[in-house]
Amino acid sequence: MKAVILAGGLGTRLSEETEIKPKPMVEIGGRPILWHIMKHLAHHNVREFIIALGYKGEMIKRYFADYSRIHPDFTVHLRSGDVLRHQSGEEDWTVHLVDTGLSTMTGGRLKRLGHLLRGETFLMTYGDGLSDVNITDLVRFHRKHKRRATVTAVRPPARYGAMGFDGDQVIAFQEKPQAGEGWINGGFFVLDAGVLEYIEEDGTHWEREPLERLTAERQLMAHRHHGFWQSMDTLRDVRLLEKLWASGEAPWNVWRPLGAFGNEARAA
């Protein structure tokens, strides 16, 4: 199954980083968050990716164009200029990099990728969120319910702690509770190609008219995810994800046992 990753937004709320690079290229442990997302998907046998580019998309193109030359160890013979690679890249991926326009909205970006989807069921997510959602189970859920679209629903932790009172007496204290009963769109969609018909133009927001129409037609299912999910919207979020990765306790690291990558990540 192919995976579409929307990676073209401006990332204005993370301007400290995105002034010089696109948001999906902001690094966690020395690797772009985009790489982390792809490693997670690849663990569930996704090998073909379609990345919808926009803002500073040339940086993402350059990263993948140079990927196989930069990441393996190699020896350079300076007299001849020959380069000997000591290992091949471990990622057996095919990556399509598609410029979908600087000002195109999320739905419009998806619509522009139709020629690469060819009537297939596919995964779709955003280039700025990490999770340990089981993609294999998600796809199974989608096929079981036989609707046009499935969204991963998540309940993010509250940004601040919560206290309960009896008058002025504190009777409950919780550092970071779940945000009430509210479930939100956590990305990680499974979509049938027919959903492209719900998108009218470049200015269409996927999260508005298409999802609202799919909901009205009872064609949108929710796969509730109770595990880890974290978007990367602010510098605080970047630092949280960095801390998790450096500690060896990154929940999204499903491709390698926890604690087995700390030194590699710091050296990358």
Which pLDDT does position 178 carry in this prediction? 60
Q: 204-211 long-range contacts, Cβ below 8 Å, gap at least 24?
A: 204/105, 204/107, 204/108, 204/111, 205/105, 205/106, 205/107, 206/105, 206/106, 206/107, 206/110, 207/106, 207/107, 208/107, 209/107, 210/107, 211/149, 211/151, 211/185
**What is the percent of the chain with per-residue pLDDT over 70, rounded to a whole number?**
85
DSSP 175-197: SS-B-TT--EE-S-EEE-GGGGG
The vertex-109 CA angle with 187 and 41, nearest 5°, equals 40
Distance of CA 46 to the CA centre of its chain: 13
pLDDT at 260 over 50: no
pTM for this predicted structure = 0.86
Q: Which residue has the higher pLDDT, 182 or 40?
A: 40
Could you give the CA distance from residue 19 to residue 59 in angstroms, rounded to a whole number?
13
Q: With contact defined as beta carbons under 8 Å apart, do 32 and 24 qualify?
A: yes
C-alpha to C-alpha distances, 33 to 37, 63, 190, 194, 231, nearest whole angstrom: 6, 13, 21, 29, 10
> What does the pLDDT look like over 181-239, one tens digit per residue?
578 899 999 999 999 999 999 999 999 999 999 999 999 999 999 999 999 999 999 99
The vertex-49 CA angle with 125 and 22, nearest 5°, equals 65
C-alpha to C-alpha distances, 142 to 43, 52, 127, 191, nearest whole angstrom: 19, 23, 22, 8
Which pLDDT does position 183 carry in this prediction? 85
- Fold topology of 2-153+183-267: Spore Coat Polysaccharide Biosynthesis Protein SpsA; Chain A (3.90.550)
Could you give the CA distance from residue 253 to residue 258 in angstroms, rounded to a whole number?
7
| Torsion sign across C-alpha atoms 27, 30, 36, 39 | positive
Q: Which residue has the higher pLDDT, 173 or 44?
A: 44
What are the tokens at 127?
Answer: 């280039």
